[in-house]
Amino acid sequence: MKYKSTRGGVAGLGFTDALLMGLASDGGLLVPESIPDVTSELEDLRHCSFVELAQHIVGMFVDDIDTPTLNRLITQAYSTFDHPEVVGWHELDKVTVVELFHGPTLAFKDVALQLLGQLFQYVLALRNQRLNILGATSGDTGSAAIAGVRGQDNVDIFILYPKGRVSPLQELQMTTVSDSNVHCIEVDGTFDDCQRIMKDTFSDLDYKEKYQLGAVNSVNWARVLAQIVYYGYASLKTPTAAQFSVPTGNFGNVFAAYLAQRMGFPINKLIVATNENDILARFFATGEYASGEVHQTVSPAMDIQVASNFERFLFYYFGEDSQRLRGFMSDFAATGRAGLGAAPETSLFAAVAIDQTQTLAVMRDINARFDYVLDPHTAVGVAAAQQLCVADEPVLCIATAHPAKFPDAVNQATDTMPTHPSLDALSGLPQRKRSLRADLSTVKRHLAKSVLA
Bridge partners, residue 135, by sequence: 159
Give the span between the Cα atoms of 396 and 409, in whole angstroms: 23
Give the span between the Cα atoms of 104 and 106, in whole angstroms: 6
* 0.85 exceeded by pTM: yes
| Residue 391: per-residue pLDDT | 65
Evaluate whether 159 touches 145 at the Cβ level (below 8 Å): yes
| Residue 453: per-residue pLDDT | 65
Give the span between the Cα atoms of 143 and 184, in whole angstroms: 10
3-state SS assignment for residue 395: strand
Percent helix, strand, coil in the chain (nearest 5)? 45, 15, 35
| Residue 394: per-residue pLDDT | 75
| Residue 15: per-residue pLDDT | 97
| Residue 319: per-residue pLDDT | 97
| Residue 393: per-residue pLDDT | 74
Query: How is domain 88-107+221-419 classified at the CATH fold level?
Result: Rossmann fold (3.40.50)
| Of 194, 382, 191, the residue nearest 279 (C-alpha) | 191
Residue count of the chain: 453
Give the span between the Cα atoms of 231 and 221, in whole angstroms: 16
Which residues have CB under 8 Å from 431's CB, separation 6+? 171, 172, 175, 176
| Residue 205: per-residue pLDDT | 87
Task: Please report which helix (H) or strand (E) contains residue 36, including its range.
Answer: none
DSSP secondary structure, 241-304, as one string: -EEEEEE-SSSHHHHHHHHHHHHT-SEEEEEEEE-S--HHHHHHHHSEEE--PPPP-S-GGG--
pLDDT of the chain, 453 residues: tens digit per residue: 999 999 999 999 999 999 999 889 899 999 999 999 999 999 999 999 999 999 999 999 999 999 999 999 999 999 999 999 999 999 998 899 999 999 999 999 999 999 999 999 999 999 999 999 999 988 778 898 999 999 998 999 999 999 998 888 889 999 999 999 999 999 999 988 998 999 899 889 899 989 999 888 778 999 999 999 999 999 999 988 999 999 998 898 999 999 999 999 999 999 999 999 999 999 999 999 999 888 889 998 888 888 889 999 999 999 999 999 999 999 999 999 999 999 999 999 999 999 999 999 999 999 999 999 999 999 999 999 999 876 667 799 999 999 999 999 999 999 999 999 999 999 999 999 999 999 999 999 999 999 876
| Residue 71: per-residue pLDDT | 98
Measured CA angle at 124 (ends 49, 11), to 5 deg: 80
Give domain limits for the chain.
88-107+221-419
Helices (H) and strands (E) in the chain, counts: 19, 15
Give the span between the Cα atoms of 214 and 182, in whole angstroms: 14
* Mode of pairing for the β-strands spanning 434-437 and 395-399: unpaired
State the catalytic residues: 109
Bridge partners, residue 23, by sequence: 29
